[in-house]
């Protein structure tokens, strides 16, 4: 985590609109049917983005990007979301089904953008380009909030008000409160 954090640049030093480096249909057969990851390939040759397979300078690229793409994969979560916080990179979530963690503790719309996974196209690229080019103060404010919310995913930090431990305990308490009453009888066993 500290290595990723060392590449977290201020918005004024970020030269890339967005990035994604990881498993794609061209480098991993298991992702052949993951449409959103296939759609990412259209951005590979566009200016001011970095998209492709795994690269050694991945953390550096994240630290130079305003947005980190967080596409649906083959499981119910992705490490790309968590990495984006430590790189200070605004998550651009490209999954309609991904359940975001700690939803009643984190105001996700204030720290990320959720884009419909079936609408990943040049329109998204133009939207982000326009946002970074014409609404820079907004992008800087979102980035600042991303940095402030990284504590929710830092298992090495022990902040009483903002930690993954607090988030997990809160979620478990909420689930316990919502359990069917017939299961409560097992609590005394």
Range of the domain at 76: 2-152
Residue 126 placed within a domain: yes
Q: Is 104 exposed, middle or buried (0-12, 13-18, 19+ CB in 10 A)?
A: exposed
* pLDDT for position 48: 98
* pLDDT for position 69: 97
Give just the sign of the alpha carbon dihedral 73, 78, 84, 90.
positive
What is residue 84's three-state secondary structure? helix
Residue 178 placed within a domain: no
* pLDDT for position 38: 81
- How many domains, the chain? 1
Cα atoms in the Cβ-side hemisphere of radius 13 Å centred on 36? 22
What is residue 25's three-state secondary structure? coil
Residue 183 placed within a domain: no
Q: Say which CATH number the domain at 76 has.
A: 3.40.50.2000
SS3 breakdown of the chain: % helix, strand, coil, rounded to 5? 50, 15, 40
Residue 92 placed within a domain: yes
Q: pLDDT tens, 9-45?
A: 999 999 999 999 987 655 565 556 656 778 899 999 9
* pLDDT for position 134: 98
Residue 108 placed within a domain: yes
Residue 170 placed within a domain: no
Alpha-helical regions (H) of the chain: 2-5, 35-40, 58-63, 79-87, 122-134, 136-149, 164-177, 181-184
In the numeric block, which tokens belong to residue 110? 């204030």
* pLDDT for position 24: 65
Residue 135 placed within a domain: yes
* pLDDT for position 40: 93
Q: Is 43 exposed, middle or buried (0-12, 13-18, 19+ CB in 10 A)?
A: buried
Residue 90 placed within a domain: yes
Confirm if 96 and 41 have CB atoms less than 8 A apart: no
Show the low-confidence residues of the chain (pLDDT under 50): none
């Amino acid at each position: 985590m500290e290595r990723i954090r060392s590449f977290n640049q201020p918005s004024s030093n970020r030269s890339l609109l967005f990035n994604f480096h990881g498993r794609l249909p061209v480098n991993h057969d298991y992702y052949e049917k993951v449409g959103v990851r296939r759609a990412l390939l259209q951005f590979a040759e566009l200016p001011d983005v970095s998209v492709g397979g795994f690269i050694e300078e991945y953390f550096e690229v994240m630290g130079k990007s305003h947005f980190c793409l967080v596409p649906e994969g083959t499981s119910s979560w992705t490490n790309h979301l968590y990495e984006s916080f430590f790189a200070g990179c605004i998550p651009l979530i490209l999954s309609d089904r991904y359940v975001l963690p700690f939803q009643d503790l984190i105001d996700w719309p204030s720290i990320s953008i959720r884009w419909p996974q079936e609408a990943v196209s040049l329109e998204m690229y133009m939207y982000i380009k326009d946002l970074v080019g014409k609404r820079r103060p907004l992008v800087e404010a979102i980035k600042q909030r991303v940095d402030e919310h990284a504590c929710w995913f830092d298992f090495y930090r022990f902040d009483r008000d903002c930690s993954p431990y607090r988030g997990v305990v809160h979620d478990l308490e909420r689930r316990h409160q919502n359990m069917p009453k017939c299961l409560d009888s097992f609590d005394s066993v």
